[in-house]
Structures are given as structure tokens and as C-alpha cells.
């Protein structure tokens, strides 16, 4: 335990020198940068990089690699063709859906126009909130009038 404490004490004494401390800090930053770069490469490698690593690890070079690459290329081309036919089918379906959506939008605008016409025809002369505001103001004015008349002793309760 004493050896460990003396090691840290010696290290702290060495770190008091500015040049050495800056050098150690630089090494730490470089080490952390390299660690981050390594982790980025490991976790974000795309399929071709991972496949190249597997080939290298398993020793798939030469004819085996060429055969595997041709097989993968053919399957990729078949997948691309299947996707193209699916896209063309979807385009036709999308065109039909777009036409349906346009007709529905026309129906909606027509219905909104009819609703607006009916609302303007069936609109009451005043709304409920207007009635309550007027009623409240009327009660306040009536109370004020009675208060003024009572204060002037024109009326007695």
C-alpha cells in the first residue's frame, strides 16, 4: 500500500512540471481520440466492410470469394427487379388513390359550402353569451339606478 501511495506522490511531484503535465494531457487526449475512432469504426462499419473483415478472417479469397460475390450480385439484381415491379404497381395504386382523394376533397368543399349557407340562414339574432352579457350589464345598471335614487332619498325601502 505504501508503494502505491509513493507512486502517486511521485507522479504528482512530476506533474508539477508544466511541460510534463501538458505532454501527459496531450497523450490522454490522443488516446481518447483513438479509442473513439476505433469504437466508431467498429459500430458504424457498413456491410461491405464487415463482409471484407469476415472474408479475411475466414480466408475466403480467390475463386471462393469470386463465386460468393457473383451469387450476391445476382441476388441483389433480382431484389432490385422485384422492387422495381413493386414500385410500378404502387405508382398505379397511388394514382388511383390520388384521384379518390381529389374527389373526396371536392365533396368536402361542397359540404362545407352547404354548412356555411345553413349556418348563415339558421343563425339566431343574438348568441347566448351576448344575452348573458347584456343581462348582467342591465342588472348592474338597474342596481346602480336604484342605488342613486335611494342615495338621493327619492325612494325609501
**pLDDT tens across the length of the chain (157 residues):** 566 677 777 767 776 767 777 777 778 888 888 888 777 766 666 666 666 666 666 665 556 666 777 788 888 888 888 888 888 888 888 888 888 888 888 888 888 887 777 666 665 555 666 667 777 888 888 888 888 887 777 766 5
Q: Are 146 and 155 in contact (CB under 8 A)?
A: yes
Determine the pLDDT at residue 116: 78
Determine the pLDDT at residue 126: 56
Q: Are 101 and 109 in contact (CB under 8 A)?
A: no
- 3-class SS letters over the chain: CHHHHHHHHHHHHHHCCHHHHHHHHHHHHHHHHHHHHHHHHHHHCCHHHHHHHHHHHHCCCCHHHHHHHHHHHHHHHHHHHHHHHHHHHHHHHHHHHHHHHHHHHHHHHHHHHHHHHHHHHCCCCCCHHHHHHHHHHHHHHHHHHHHHHHHCCCCCC
Closest CA to 69 of 40, 48, 84, 53: 48
Determine the pLDDT at residue 137: 83
CA-CA distance, 138 to 146, in Å (whole number)? Answer: 12
Determine the pLDDT at residue 50: 65
Amino acid at each position: 500500500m505504501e508503494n502505491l501511495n509513493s507512486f502517486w506522490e511521485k507522479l504528482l511531484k512530476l506533474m508539477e512540471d508544466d511541460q510534463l503535465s501538458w505532454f501527459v494531457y496531450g497523450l490522454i487526449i490522443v488516446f481518447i481520440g483513438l479509442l473513439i475512432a476505433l469504437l466508431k469504426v467498429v459500430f458504424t462499419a457498413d456491410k461491405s466492410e464487415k463482409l471484407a473483415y469476415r472474408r479475411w478472417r475466414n480466408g475466403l479469397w480467390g475463386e471462393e470469394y469470386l463465386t460468393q460475390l457473383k451469387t450476391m450480385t445476382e441476388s441483389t439484381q433480382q431484389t432490385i427487379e422485384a422492387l422495381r415491379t413493386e414500385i410500378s404497381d404502387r405508382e398505379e395504386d397511388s394514382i388511383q388513390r390520388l384521384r379518390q382523394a381529389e374527389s373526396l376533397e371536392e365533396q368536402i368543399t361542397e359540404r362545407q359550402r352547404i354548412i356555411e349557407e345553413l349556418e348563415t340562414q339558421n343563425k339566431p339574432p343574438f348568441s347566448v353569451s351576448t344575452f348573458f352579457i347584456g343581462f348582467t350589464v342591465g342588472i348592474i345598471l338597474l342596481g346602480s339606478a336604484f342605488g342613486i335614487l335611494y342615495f338621493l332619498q327619492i325612494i325609501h325601502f
